[in-house]
Structure 1
């Protein structure tokens, strides 16, 4: 039985869904303002400071927990369908994870679609990663991490690093990653009544802004990593909520990665919504999940 505090995220998502339904002609600028309210679900982490920076030509926000190891970095790509979301909406959740792991986090404001379609987001992730390496941070001390569309980028950026011949990061962490651009996941139907935010219609609109009308791109491994080769890939941690429509994406990624020999861990928490770690500091379900990630990270 989930806690009352955990219901905050479902209620926030329902409010967004109602507002979008009431305004079908909502502008992209208004939608970006709406999704920046994501930060409401996350309580401010104690003893974490923030610093704006430009890394590799990309605007970023550092999260520095007091006493953290600054030589270890969580490279955080925010969610929002590649079109919305920002460091403002995600800095607090990144701060909570960084604090639990005892490291720093770097939330990047990658270029968003539709102004900058695929592969601009990956190009920005690569630019930041290269800049971190050039600054002296070791690849093994960098972890890519992200949620939803940012979870996709956390996974696919490593595939791109490998393609470019770069040394790979130490691990990958994906919260409720959105991966399947063909929208064939079974839980899009079976969890349609329990997911308070995600619908195929919303996803289809985001796909159109991200990759345009070329259906062949829905199977491109750097767009849809369910088609990717994971034979050389870092340890992977995936989590998802049992109530969310994109649950099948997490399950299929875990299964594909395991089949190819990746050290993959999947954590599904019953009853929870899309990207439930946003409830960090508010609900024990999120805090317990972040503790599990910290234990996994420390054991690598």
Structure 2
């Protein structure tokens, strides 16, 4: 990945609790963040950026903060609807927090990644798991139904999602896999 090379960031593929992950690490660690780990949960509408492509945001985080980022390459559509991605994130979290204090861990994600983090927090509360010290949530589509002002106001204005009926609605239905898209773990607003 060119951006990683330009910023002197290494990317190492690994498996944690059976989940594909990438350790994204700057050559020089910021001394203020030497004990910090950011768990990166990538964007991509639950269907895009598998494999090493999932590391783009993690490379930016590692470069910006000068700390290690663990990118979770969660299972995605079309083969793995809800709850597979959430289960992957929970499995990695449980494994990491066996040895690392949660007060030194942040979770960061945009879009679908941010929604998975929000769903993770609901699940962590239900299962009485320790929670990350910090959350970075960028533009989460926290309500996958069509009932939100944001979806309706931005219809045909948003140049990525464009139209709920043409993209997001189809992805939401596929991701929910027969469940109500208003389920708190699918739309964790």
Runs of 4+ in 1 over 6 A off after TM superposition: none
Q: Secondary structure at the match of 2:43?
A: coil
Aligned to 1:153: 116
Per-residue deviation, 1:70: 5.5
Within the alignment, does 1:120 sit opposite 2:84 as a pair? yes
Quickly say closer, same or farther: Cα 1:193–1:113, change in 2 above 3 A: closer
Within the alignment, does 1:100 sit opposite 2:64 as a pair? yes
Aligned to 2:172: 207
Return the alpha-carbon distance in structure 1 between the equivalents of residues 28 and 45 of structure 2: 34
What is the root-mean-square deviation in Å for CA atoms of aligned residues?
2.0
Q: Provide the TM-score with structure 1 as the length reference.
A: 0.57
How many residues align? The count is 183
Return the alpha-carbon distance in structure 1 between the equivalents of residues 71 and 102 of structure 2: 17
**Contact in 1 for aligned 2:26/2:67 (Cα 8 Å):** yes
Q: Secondary structure at the match of 2:100?
A: coil
Return the alpha-carbon distance in structure 1 between the equivalents of residues 3 and 20 of structure 2: 24
Aligned to 2:36: 72
Any gaps of 5 or more consecutive residues in structure 1?
Answer: 1-38, 227-300
Q: Give 1 or 2: higher helix fraction.
A: 1
Q: How does 1:1-80 map to 2 (within 5 A)?
A: 43-44=3-4, 45-68=6-29, 69=33, 71-80=35-44
Greater mean alpha carbon deviation, residues 55-64 or residues 189-198: 189-198
Within the alignment, does 1:130 sit opposite 2:94 as a pair? yes
Q: How does 1:147-296 map to 2 (within 5 A)?
A: 147-198=110-161, 199-200=163-164, 201-214=166-179, 217-226=180-189
Per-residue deviation, 1:190: 2.7
Return the alpha-carbon distance in structure 2 between the equivalents of residues 172 and 221 of structure 1: 18
Return the alpha-carbon distance in structure 2 between the equivalents of residues 43 and 100 of structure 1: 12
Within the alignment, does 1:111 sit opposite 2:64 as a pair? no
Return the alpha-carbon distance in structure 2 between the equivalents of residues 175 and 99 of structure 1: 18
Per-residue deviation, 1:184: 2.0
Per-residue deviation, 1:87: 4.2
Per-residue deviation, 1:127: 0.5
Return the alpha-carbon distance in structure 2 between the equivalents of residues 70 and 137 of structure 1: 13
Return the alpha-carbon distance in structure 2 between the equivalents of residues 188 and 168 of structure 1: 30
Per-residue deviation, 1:55: 0.8
Q: Secondary structure at the match of 2:36?
A: strand
Return the alpha-carbon distance in structure 2 between the equivalents of residues 87 and 98 of structure 1: 18
Quickly say closer, same or farther: Cα 1:140–1:219, change in 2 above 3 A: same
Return the alpha-carbon distance in structure 1 between the equivalents of residues 87 and 136 of structure 2: 19
Higher-Rg structure is 1
